[in-house]
A and B are shown apart, each in its own frame.
Chain A
Amino acid sequence: MAVEREEGQSPGDFEPRIVALLCNWCSYTGADLAGTSRIQYPPNIRVIRVMCSGSVDPMYILKAILEGADGVLIGGCHAGDCHYINGNYKARRRVAIARRVLDQLGLDGRRVWFRFISASEGRLFAETVREMVAQLKEIGPNPMRDRWEL
């Protein structure tokens, strides 16, 4: 990734790495809109397009964190707007479970965010990334990172 940690860098100003799984119909299109509107946000995020937030297996979240990502963002349609009726609710529940598992593993469940972002909310998407980067900087680097950095 672009954002490497330099020697002697304190954990406070490290650059968090975020993996995002965005629903095709809303959040991914919202992220596209941020681009079309040229709204700038930190480059710390890598996006995977999924058909629906409800297709996100909790394993994806755990895998990303266990492999060293500092945060995972799941984006889905607003309540009632899911293209597949109720996938976003399924996602919300699964994210809640993944967070609990991470907490139990001592990996801080706050690293995982679930957000409703619609196709027209480019600005919200950019803001979400900004906020998430800021919060992850407070939480500090994922301890699992060192597995490959060493």
Chain B
Amino acid sequence: MKRVGVFVCWCGRNIAETVDIEALCRQLGRDAPVAWVEDYKYMCSEPGQQLMKKAIAEQHLDAVVVAACSPNMHEVTFRLAAEAAGLNPYRLEIANIREQCSWVHRDRDQATAKALDIVRSMVEKVARDEELQPLRVPVTKRALVIGAGISGMQAALEIADAGHEVLLVERQTYIGGHMAQLSETFPTLDCASCILTPRTAEVARHPRIKLMVASEVIEVGGYVGNFVVRIRQNPTYVDWSTCTGCMECVEKCPRQVPSRFERGLGTRKAISVAFPQAVPYRPSIDAEACLYFTKGRCGICQKTCPVGAVDYEQKPVIHEEKVGAIVVATGYELFPKARIGEYGYGKYPDVIDGLEFERLNSASGPTSGRIQRPSDGKVPKEVVFIQCVGSRDQEKGVPYCSKICCMYTAKHAMLYKHKVPDGQAYVFYMDVRAGGKGYEEFIQRAVEEDGVLYLRGRVSRIFPEGSKLMVWGVDTISGEKVEIAADLVVLAMAMVPSPTARDLARVLKVSIDEHGFFSEAHPKLRPVESLSRGIYLTGCAQAPKDIPEAVAQAGSAASKVLALFSSDELLHPPTVVRVDPEICSGCGLCVKSCPYEARQIDPVSKVARVREVLCQGCGACAAACPNGATQHINFTKEQLMSMIDTFTGPPDGAGRER
């Protein structure tokens, strides 16, 4: 029989006032496995720990129960102390007689009896606890960043700058994400591409960043430190390794189509680069638009290319890569316009969204930065901006605030006024949320310096009248109906997660919230970690945020990756499950019940196996196992049953004495 020592803490008066420590110790001293009982005013204090260490050594204790506060408080403290005294730390358990006993009951007799039960149950458990060593797993010091918007690029750069290789995977044919579409940024009004272009160039030339554009992560296996990912590189129909970027093909291509990058406001060729500063600066063919693919004729680009880089036969390529950590930076999209019926978006050409306005205003955009309305190219004199379109709308949109719309609407209105000083800008708003450095001042500037007219209220209807768009709304401050004959209407659409997020979450086996944003492990304390170890979140993939926040979060995610890479081995808690192959019937229930793919049926022996480093120690498979072949280490059925026994047995503890 094991020699169990029990150390009862008074916690000053916190425990001692309600629990009769003397009676408790006296009773425990009579129980069979208890070889040593000691109490002290503050067990967690230095002398308290010393006393425990001394007893472990002198009394040859091989298991210890500390009856004190919650294990959430000091389990680690006491386990470290026990280890220092030569006891395996997994042979120490905490009996929670403060939070769950002395603090919640007043009757001293009842509290004492309950404390006795609690300690006894832990004595039963600890007497059956195994000595364990943490599992050690090697780390592949190479990171995968999914999404090369501003946040993903930042994360990649920080990890690469710290000396580790990064695989940066981007679905589009270029990097930079939505920021590449922006004209200026708030609250400084500095040009977006002037900030972005040096970053994209840095990413492209970084010796430790391996960039994969037109690529998607399709499968992730393995676990923290040792992920195996499969990436599909979609065909661009141009061999970029031979292409020199001369763009002669683009010039000669006869096929013009609306440009996605310009959000349909401009055109591009069927073979093209998304925009002039695109990185990598290489053309790709849009098979849906290309005459060769759709009609089987043309082939001009292939004939034109001086280096023979155009390859209509290119097929998707699957790459398999090993990485130790993954950063998810899949960004956002705007709320689907099809769902905003009442504002005529998609129906009237002069009702546009915020990103479209960015393109109109961009020097490299379809109008070279002149503000012209899409329908007839006229310079609009009355422009209505509507905030919260789709956001904060329980019924038709999303319930959350998209966070950046107040700011970018003010920016749009200002930029418009700078370009069309005799024009009038109206902003319909619900509230103005301008929390951030220099943000409130920015809004004030829009109102005071640029004369932007803010109207509090919702727009009820927009309809065309002649060449104008009639905007009906209510100013809820004056209570008056407002009617504006506008030339252009700009909708600040809600931000929604990237459409790829849902599938990616499934591939990564991490959770997303009800809206499709990736869920962080803890909203306050672990904001960049997913609940799966080794997978981190950054940027709008996690929640709507602006550029400074997306960049800050990227740094934080990168530092998590670097911390992971700072040692050669990772420690994994050993309280996983174990299979007795003699008993296992190979029924496979454990495989089904495991959310981590840690359980498998061995193809040769036909019994279940545990992939220990994948096991998170939840115990679900052990509960599902019909014959007890799978046991949760240190939470075995025998242990749990013995604990239940202490609670259901005779009240006086009869049968426990030695």
- In the assembled complex, which residues on chain A have CB atoms less than 8 Å from the CB atom of B647? 1, 17, 19, 46, 48, 64, 69
Please, which residue of chain A has its CB at the minimum distance from the CB of B577? A55
| Contact among B110, B595, B622, B641 with A55 in the assembled complex (CB-CB below 8 Å) | B622
The proximity string for A residues 55-71 relative to B, scoring 1 for CB distances below 8 Å and 0 otherwise, is 11111100110011100
**Most chain A CB neighbours (cut-off 10 Å) among B101, B110, B649:** B110
Measured between alpha carbons, how far is A80 from B513 in the docked complex, in Å? 9
A2 x B651 contact (CB < 8 A) = yes
* Residues of B with C-beta under 8 A to A38: 103-104
Nearest residue, chain A, Cβ from B112: A2
A96 → B minimal CB distance (Å): 14
The residue that B511 contacts in the complex, of A17, A29, A59, A85, with Cβ under 8 A, is A85
Given known A40-B104, A49-B71, A83-B618, contact A55–B635 (CB-CB < 8 A): yes
Decide: B106 and A55 in contact? CB cutoff 8 A: no
Q: Does chain A have a CB within 8 A of B121?
A: yes
A128 interface hit (Cβ, 8 Å): no
B residues within 8 A CB of A84?
595, 616, 618, 620
- Say yes or no: B623 contacts A56, CB within 8 Å: yes
In A110-150, the 8 Å CB interface with B consists of 126, 148
B53 within 8 A of A: no
A34-B649 contact in complex given A43-B110, A55-B635, A57-B637, C-beta closer than 8 Å = no
Interface size on A, residues (CB 8 A): 47
* B644 close to A60 (CB less than 8 A): yes
Among B112, B118, B644, the most chain A Cβ lie within 10 Å of the Cβ of B644
Q: Which residue of A lies closest to B646 (CB)?
A: A46
* Residue contact A90 to B593, C-beta cutoff 8 Å: yes
A3 at interface, CB cutoff 8 A: yes
> Of B37-45, B92-100, B196-204, B548-556, which binds chain A?
B92-100
CA distance A80 to B519 in the complex (A): 11
Partner of B651, one of A4, A55, A63, A87: A4
**Which residues of chain A have C-beta atoms less than 8 A from B641's C-beta?**
59-60, 63
B103 touches A52 (CB 8 A): no
Q: Verify A55–B531 contact, CB threshold 8 A.
A: no
Q: Are A67 and B110 in contact (CB under 8 A)?
A: no
B334 adjacent to chain A (CB < 8 Å): no
Q: For the complex, give the distance between the alpha carbons of A83 and B617 in Å.
A: 11
Q: Do the beta carbons of A35 and B100 come within 8 Å of each other?
A: yes
State whether B620 touches A2 (Cβ < 8 A).
Answer: no
Question: How many residue pairs bridge A and B at CB < 8 Å?
Answer: 141
A97 to B108 alpha-carbon distance, docked (Å): 38
Assess the B648–A40 pair: CB atoms within 8 A. Answer: no
Q: Which of B589-634 contact A (CB under 8 A)?
A: 593, 595, 616-620, 622-624, 632
**Chain A residues with CB under 8 A of B650:** 148
Per-position binary interface string of chain A over residues 1-35, scored 1 when its CB falls under 8 Å from any chain B CB and 0 otherwise:
11110000000000001010000000001011111
Residues of A within 8 A of B393 (CB): none
Q: Please measure, in the bound complex, the distance between the C-alpha atom of A43 and the C-alpha atom of B108, giving whole angstroms.
A: 11
Most B CB atoms within 10 A — which of A3, A4, A56, A85? A85
Q: Assess whether A55 is in contact with B623, with CB atoms less than 8 Å apart.
A: yes
In the assembled complex, the Cα of A96 lies from the Cα of B644 at a distance in Å of 20
Which B residues are in CB contact (< 8 Å) with A99?
A: none
CA distance A2 to B19 in the complex (A): 12
Q: Is the CB of A35 within 8 A of B618?
A: no
Q: When chains A and B are docked, how far (Å) is the Cα of A51 from the Cα of B573?
A: 13
Known: A1-B651, A2-B109. A126 touches B618 (CB 8 A): no
B412 at the interface (CB under 8 A from A): no
- B644/A48 in contact, CB under 8 A: yes
- The answer to whether B72 has its CB under 8 Å from any CB of chain A is yes
Contact B618 A51 (CB under 8 A): yes
A57 x B110 contact (CB < 8 A): no
The residue from B114, B618, B637 contacting A52, defined by CB atoms under 8 A apart: B618
Q: How far is the CA of A119 from the CA of B372 in the complex (A)?
A: 55
Residue of B nearest to A54 (CB): B620
User: A59–B99 contact, CB under 8 A?
Assistant: no
Asked if B447 lies at the interface with its beta carbon under 8 angstroms from chain A, I say no
Minimal beta-carbon separation of B72 from chain A (angstroms): 6
The yes or no answer to A94 lying at the interface (CB within 8 A) is yes
The smallest C-beta distance from B615 to any residue of chain A, in angstroms, reads 10
**B107 CB-CB contact with A under 8 Å:** yes
B620 touches A50 (CB 8 A): no
A1 to chain B, nearest CB (A): 5
Pick the residue among B99, B113, B624 that contacts A36 (CB under 8 A): B99
Taken together as a complex, chains A and B put the C-alpha atoms of A52 and B111 apart, in Å, by 27
Is B470 an interface residue when CB atoms closer than 8 A count as contact? no
CA–CA, A35 to B70, complex, Å? 10
Cβ–Cβ contact A68 & B648, under 8 A: yes
Query: B residues within 8 A CB of A56?
Result: 623
Residues of A within 8 A of B651 (CB): 1-2, 4
Asked whether B105 is an interface residue with its Cβ less than 8 Å from the other chain, the reply is yes
Q: Determine the chain A residues whose CB is within 8 A of the CB of B113 once the complex forms.
A: 1-3, 43
Q: Would you give the shortest CB distance from B405 to chain A, in whole angstroms? A: 28
What's the minimum C-beta distance from A86 to chain B, rounded to whole angstroms?
A: 6
B317: CB under 8 A from chain A? no
* A94 CB contacts on chain B under 8 angstroms: 623
Q: Are B622 and A2 in contact (CB under 8 A)?
A: no
Q: How far is the CA of A1 from the CA of B647 in the complex (A)?
A: 7
A55 and B70 contacting across the interface, CB-CB below 8 Å: no
Task: Chain B residues near A41: list those with CB within 8 A.
Answer: 104-105
Q: Using an 8 Å CB-CB cutoff, how does the interface string of B51-69 with A read, 1 for contact, 0 for none?
A: 0000000000000000000
CB pair A43–B623 under 8 Å, yes or no, is no
Q: Please judge, given known A-B contacts A34-B104, A51-B617, whether A57 and B649 are in contact too, CB under 8 Å.
A: no
**B189 interface hit (Cβ, 8 Å):** no
Chain B neighbourhood of A47, CB < 8 A: 96, 100, 118
A57-B620 contact given A32-B99, A38-B103, A39-B104, CB 8 Å threshold:
no
| CB-contact partner of B620 in A1, A36, A87, under 8 A | A87
**A48 to B639 alpha-carbon distance, docked (Å):** 11
Q: A46-B114, A126-B104 are in contact. Are A52 and B648 (CB under 8 A)?
A: no
Could you list some 25 contacts between A and B, CB below 8 A?
Answer: A1-B651, A19-B648, A29-B72, A35-B98, A38-B103, A38-B104, A40-B104, A41-B104, A46-B114, A50-B619, A51-B575, A51-B618, A54-B619, A54-B623, A55-B620, A55-B635, A60-B640, A63-B641, A69-B644, A69-B647, A80-B511, A84-B616, A84-B620, A85-B531, A90-B624
6 closest A-B pairs by CB: A55-B619, A2-B113, A35-B99, A84-B618, A67-B648, A35-B103
Known pairs A31-B100, A55-B623 / 10 extra A-B pairs, C-beta < 8 Å: A17-B647, A38-B104, A43-B105, A43-B114, A51-B618, A52-B619, A55-B622, A57-B640, A60-B644, A80-B511
Interface residues of B (CB under 8 A from A): 70-72, 96, 98-101, 103-107, 109-114, 117-118, 121, 511, 531, 575, 593, 595, 616-620, 622-624, 632, 635, 637, 640-641, 643-645, 647-651
